[in-house]
Amino acid sequence: MTLNYVSILVSDMARSLAFYRTLGLPIPEDVDTAQGHVEIEVGGLRIAWETEALMRGLNPGWIRPDAGGRIGIGVQATSPAGVDDAMTRLRAAGYDAPEPFDAPWGQRYATVTDPDGTGVDVFAWRADAG
């Protein structure tokens, strides 16, 4: 088995894609959002954003989850400074992004919440780890 696809449920596609672009994911600016589905591939993993409207269209009995936190996403930066830079970009764009910290397991680390309540861990291995 190989993890190949992760889907993120969103209420507002433009708002969510802006967040993930600011975070640093390579989502093209001219991506077609009309179908309520956007998909990219990063490092062999397909990542998709799907709207609540699409879910209701596919399954009329679908009910929106009341809270986030059912899945967490981890995004690895190329360096510890990359974690700091991502949080700085998010704060500059108006998102509530915490100050990263040096975790005891050897990573520069921060957890931010996307516009729909999904937790996103941003990390990089420190040179002094291990």
pTM for the whole structure: 0.88
Q: What would the pLDDT profile of 81-107 be if each residue is shown by its tens digit?
A: 999 999 999 999 999 999 999 999 999
Number of C-beta neighbours around residue 47 at 10 A:
19
Strand order of the β-sheet with 5-10 is 5-10, 45-51, 37-42
* Sequence-distant (≥ 6) Cβ neighbours of residue 115 within 8 angstroms: 10, 11, 12, 15, 16, 19
User: Measured between alpha carbons, how far is residue 130 from residues 73, 104, 109, 122 in Å?
Assistant: 24, 11, 16, 19
Token reading at 59: 């399954």
Tens-place pLDDT, residues 24-39: 999 999 999 999 999 9
CB 82 within 8 A of CB 76: no
Q: Which CATH class is domain 5-125?
A: alpha beta
**pLDDT tens for each residue of 58-83:** 888 888 877 666 678 999 999 999 99
Report the candidate in 41, 49, 58, 46 with the shortest Cα–Cα distance to residue 20: 49
For the chain, the domains span 5-125
Specify the pLDDT at position 120: 93
